[in-house]
Chains A and B, each alone.
Chain A
Amino acid sequence: MTKDDFWQGIRGGFPVMVSASPFGALFGALAVDNGFSVFDAVFMSATVYAGASQMVGIELFGHNVQPWLIVLSVFAVNFRHILYSASIARHIRHFSAVQKFFTFFLLVDPQYAETEKRAERGEPVTFAWYLGFAMIIYLPWQFMTMLGAIFGQMIGDPRAIGLDVLLPIYFMGLVLGFRQRDNWLPVVAVSSLASIAALHVVGSPWHVSIGAIAGILLAACLPLSKRHEEPVTLEHEV
């Protein structure tokens, strides 16, 4: 049973791995370009494990920005994970403390989205499934970072081989996956517009947090549907 769940996780995570791999290689190439060694690039991929914030981190490091500002920027780009961990808490209550440690360490965007979708379908969110899904993304991420760092020049101009379009389309697919939820369209519209406005007024990376908070506040203020009238009870445990 556990073994089945693990393999089911690996199969589920495979397409994510395929679409994330170019970005792992791109990160490795850009990291070397910004003064990292191959070891440093893989070390960052292995410990931070958050693609967009890794890109921001190496960019700022390359421009000799103060260390506290680099760390703060990584924190800001990853701020959305606070919302993810709050949201999946109800699905992982049965995990042990050690399992929870790894669960949160490995909580990247697609991992979060698939965990929510799995729970929504009524399938059990087991640690074996979670770990299988995570490992087929985490391990190749390190390998691709190393490849990219070693063969950085082979990527050349990422635009010329169309790499820049993959990340937004991938995230768009995730957004579409949630279209059955209450108030989906108004939330997407408000978050999109707020993030664009914030990008021009405040700048990156704050547009991510500002746009997200705008949509979430809207959802909290809109009329509640019937199925949300029963409050969910969470046991107290950490």
Chain B
Amino acid sequence: MRKKKNRINRKTVLAFATLTVFFLLFAKLAYLQIFLHGRINRAVEKMVNRENVEVPKRGDILDAKGNILTTSIKNYTVFLDAKMIEDFETLKEVLSENGIKIKEKKICDFKNMSYIPIAFDVDSFTVEKIKKTKLKGVGFEAKYTRRYPQRRLLAHILGITGRDGGGLEGVEKICNANLSGETVKTKIIRDGRGQIIRNKSLNMEEICGCNIELTIDRNIQFIAEQELRKAFELYKAKKAICIVQNPKTGKILAMVSLPDFDCSDKIKDIRRLRNSAISDIYEPGSTFKIVTVAAALEEGKIKISDTFYLENGKFKIAGHTINDDHKIEGSATLSGIFEMSSNIGMVKIAQRLGGDLFYDYIRKFGFYSLTGIDLPGEAKGLLMDVKRWNALTLPNISFGQGIGVSALQIINAFSSLANDGVLLRPFVIQKIIRCNSEEEIFEKKEIRRVVSEDTAYIVKKLLKNVVDMGTGKSAKIQGYTVGGKTGTAQKVDPSIKTYSTKYYTASFCGMVPAMKPEFVVLVIIDEPKGSSYYAASVASPVFANISKRIAEYLRIEKDDVK
């Protein structure tokens, strides 16, 4: 009986002890779950959960045919964590095999640091090779960098990006919001070995920036750049500009400003970033005569058959003498005036038109207002208000002096005549391609009708005569009819505050084919040095070289079989 009692006691004690242990465990569990759950959860979340900032790839900029002009590539910064390095010699050897050299001395200086960058812009192939060695103490930080496979081509149009990846100039700036994409924060889980487990799969293509397709054809751009660069170097010019435009749509096919820069290099001279083709203004000289003639014809102030007495090459107005470079004896027809680029003839035409009407047409052709091109930094130009014009203003402006225009405004005015008198908005961005392949297409935009179709036809005929028989003979190209106008403008010398006899701007603006133009080309050579400064010998040959190559490239049907 006693034995049985002892056994019960032992069983009871054991059960009691077990229950106590379970009770204590339960109590501890309850304490952790109820009272400490918040703190523990936070600690675990801190250890396991990570917020990851997914930086999207900046969109590409493409030419009219889809060739990449600029793109972003994922590159890596390789860094060392000095505390984690186990075998420095092997690490040094592996990195050296992959083209990364490290100095032991430098590492010793930062031995307590966890982030010692040792190489920048390392490509993913190299990074993969290093990763495979599974060495401890080496890390990689991914970053997108902008690349320009076409080097200098289109530098001013593409523009540049800053350190933060944002656009600072050109299309990079104007389309920054579209190109940048959307930065997304995602949650990732890290396990005990540091491996990442994503709780949601993210398609990076959905957040990346849009691609921008330009109207510019890289082949046409290359032709224009190559020919212009030759002339720029030959004449040791201060600046040179070339624009090629499709007059039927307003699309810019090429735009070159020299001197230029290489987008991939560090830009030493910030002035080179300036896109002279749209940001600089100059006195156009005789190329502006199309405005005077077109306005007078449109208003019926002159007829194609009219003749004008040209004062034997010297014409006095308000105490000033206006000279003709190409002297014409006696009188000349409108065509003769245009062919020989007579300043006196142009003054007489402008006088028939009068100041107010002339001013209206200057504005109608788009001068002294922005063309609306989709590039930053466009200049409006300079033009005195008609109420403040003096006796010399009208005569001067009639042959393109005393007015400041941009190269883009001049070519757009020529294009309006080539487009049967309708002025269009010039543009360089034709498509925005979103990540989901949706496209936003930009079409041609009509600004206004400037002159009638008939007037435009007569001016085109006059321009053709300039190349066939006048000052623009050197702009002729084999197989095609060409219409165009030369312009040799004196520049104002700031030191003497009057027109210089040393510094000139030579330009030529023309269209091919002459009567049904497919493209318009403007060439400007600023301050050419050498034996000649005349547009006929400096700018027109450059126009001819560019136009011939472009016409052949675009396979435009030959219209001059002579």
Chains A and B come from one and the same complex = no
Chain B residues packing against A (C-beta within 8 Å)? none
